[in-house]
Amino acid sequence: MRSQHDLDERIREIDGRGYKAYRALGGSWRFDFFDLHIDYVQGDPFASPSRVRVTLEPDAVGLAGPAFRSAPRRLGVAALLARMFAVGAQAVSERRGSGKSGRIRIDAPAQTVMPQTAVQVDPSGAVEARFQVGLPAAGRRVLGAEASELLLEVVPDLVSSTLLAAAHDADLIERHAATNEDAEHLRSALDGLELLAFVADGAVLPRRSGVDDRPLPDRVVPFCSPPSLRTDVNLPNAGPITGMGLPRGVTLIVGGGFHGKSTLLRAIESGVHNHRPGDGREYVVSVPDAVKVRAEDGRSVAGVDISGFIDGLPLDVDTHSFSSGNASGSTSQAAAIVEALESGARALLVDEDTSATNFMIRDRRMQALVPREGEPITPFIDRVRTLYDDLGISSVLVLGGSGDYLDVADTVVLMRDYVPEDATAEAHRIAREFPTGRLSESTGPLTPPATRRPASGSIRVRRGRKSLYLKVPGTRTLVLGEEDVDLVAVEQIASAQQVRAIGRALAWIANRIDGRRTTVDLLDAVEEAIANHGLDALDSRKSGDLAGFRRHELAAAMNRLRTLRVD
């Protein structure tokens, strides 16, 4: 392998030449305590910066054995190192010429901890970091002195100050490793405890804003479990902790407006991910297959059997294989539920505020005014018990105005001044004392989703001359091929890196759709590829901008493609 001295000589040779001369720097270079890999050299100072990696052997990194003895611990440490690298890169990045010259950037995780490609710690304790560097230019000419300083001084100093164990307090590293390991242990304990979620006492649930996922810094009421729902769990590092255990079945979260109902639900939906120390939700976990569903006017639906919820539409529209380019609130919510079941959801999370009212409930007065034979919708209230009793699918619902649901609830949590109370007994008493007279509108059993097989050509990733066109403007939009995929309603996506990885997974699937494989087959195949080869299975370029995702968000993105057709 060529040395850093060779790299310095190469930079001197190309000084002042056209920008494309930087391509001579491609390849691997040996430094004193790490290897520098320049995998892609940008063709223009105004283009996306060059992709660079550094790899460090275990002895160079110097992590203590406990920091990398398990996969959850390695993920926790990797997330810490990535965030430290991001902070350091921001501090040393400065304009060194035209365009993006001098820029150093890494796609570090924010509040969540999940597999990602920015920084990885392997089972031996070795570290790899992937980031971007803007190679300096004056106009479109190589700035050799600036490039030499950037690659031979700034980058090594950045690596030394952020990726080596000696650069951080040992307790900080252990805290990140231990917290992530404890969260994984806690989630794995849910099944044995017959719980679908756990919210630790003392957790901080409110966030700063809808676009800032950090904890609210002041005027926060720490979470405190109702005594009747309090559960004890012993964690491998933190030891015994207590919190509210939400049992399987049908759970209602009720209360007055602005008392914390939706905040609690959002914490539960985010509990499918682990969180960094200091987030406030470190020990708020949910079963990994809990899926938030909602109404989504105008979305595309392709061949979904929603007949268990909606049947007998006017003009003989077939709801056993329902397709629409402009679904209504009720049909979109029915489709979202069936699609979630198809991808393997074990729990549905529903907020009354983002649901279609006519899909959720028809009260007794409306039943009297509009006879059952004139109403194609079987409301969710008449399916929520069947979902659990027959299919084992739990539901957690935030409700503020639909008291009829008290008749079908197993557990009722009342939020009052941001403090939860177990109101189950009182809710059942009220239901008995004040019967609504509402009649069930269930017309038969609810069956598992029908098998769908995406048709060849359903996922189109080309645009113009590009065989794969993929852009990620943010966490709620994916541009794939010629289509903008709206992911606003896919609320459990936590980062743009996840969206990019989902886009890559859709491109991977596109090459494997043959009209015979089912949606489930394709989701299984993606998971198997990632399990065997990591996220690099989706992108051979060793990019550092991918993060792990669940099959449910991948399925949700695929189901929102307007090009999707099923056989």
The pLDDT profile of the chain, 567 residues, written as one tens digit per residue, is 899 999 999 999 999 999 999 999 999 999 999 999 999 999 999 999 999 999 999 999 999 999 999 999 999 999 999 999 999 999 999 989 899 999 999 999 999 999 999 999 999 999 999 999 999 999 999 999 999 999 999 999 999 999 999 999 999 999 999 999 999 999 999 999 999 999 999 999 999 999 999 999 999 999 999 999 999 999 999 999 999 999 999 999 999 999 999 999 999 999 999 999 999 999 999 999 999 999 999 999 999 999 999 998 888 888 999 999 999 999 999 999 999 999 999 999 999 999 999 999 999 999 999 988 889 999 999 999 999 999 999 999 999 999 999 999 999 999 999 999 999 999 999 999 999 999 999 988 899 998 899 999 999 999 999 999 999 998 999 999 999 999 999 999 999 999 999 999 999 999 999 999 999 999 999 999 999 999 999 999 999 999 999 999 999 999 999 999 998
Q: Residue 105 has which token pair? A: 């950037």
- Rounded CA-CA distance 459/477 in Å is 16
CA distances from 528 to 229, 456, 533, 538 (A): 37, 21, 9, 12
Answer yes or no: do 319 and 409 share one domain. Answer: yes
Q: Which has the closest alpha carbon to 97: 15, 156, 155?
A: 15
pLDDT at residue 317 in the model: 87
18 in any annotated domain: yes
Last residue of a domain, one of 433, 451, 486: 433
205 lies in some domain: no
Write out the H or E segment, with its range, that includes residue 523. helix 519-533
| Torsion on CA atoms 437, 441, 443, 446, rounded to nearest 10 | -110
Same domain as 483, residue 398: no
The number of distinct structural domains making up the chain is 3
- The pTM of this model reads 0.96
Task: Say if 440 falls within a structural domain.
Answer: no
Residue 242 lies in a domain: no
Report which secondary-structure segment, H or E, holds 253.
Answer: strand 250-255
Residue 201 lies in a domain: no
Shared-domain flag, residues 406 and 477: no
- Distance, in Å, from the CA atom of 198 to the CA atom of 195, rounded to the nearest integer, reads 7
Q: Is residue 244 part of a domain?
A: no
Judge if 156 and 24 occupy the same domain. yes
Domain annotation covers residue 318? yes
- Asked if residue 131 belongs to a domain, the reply is yes
Out of 168, 188, 207, a domain closes at: 168
**Buried/exposed code over 285-298 (b: 16+ C-beta within 10 A; e: otherwise):** bbbbbbbbbbbbee
**Full domain range(s) for residue 86:** 2-168
Same domain, 402 and 485: no
Which pLDDT score, from 0 to 100, does residue 316 have? Answer: 82
Residues counted in the chain: 567
Q: 203 — phi, psi (to 5°)?
A: -65, 145
Q: Where are the alpha helices (DSSP H) in 129-229?
A: 144-149, 155-162, 170-189
Residue 290 near residue 344, CB atoms below 8 Å: no
Does 8 share its domain with 153? Answer: yes
Is 504 in the same domain as 397?
Answer: no
- Both 396 and 534 in one domain: the answer is no
Phi, psi of 485 (to 5 degrees): -95, 120
Listed residues 135, 168, 201: the one ending a domain: 168
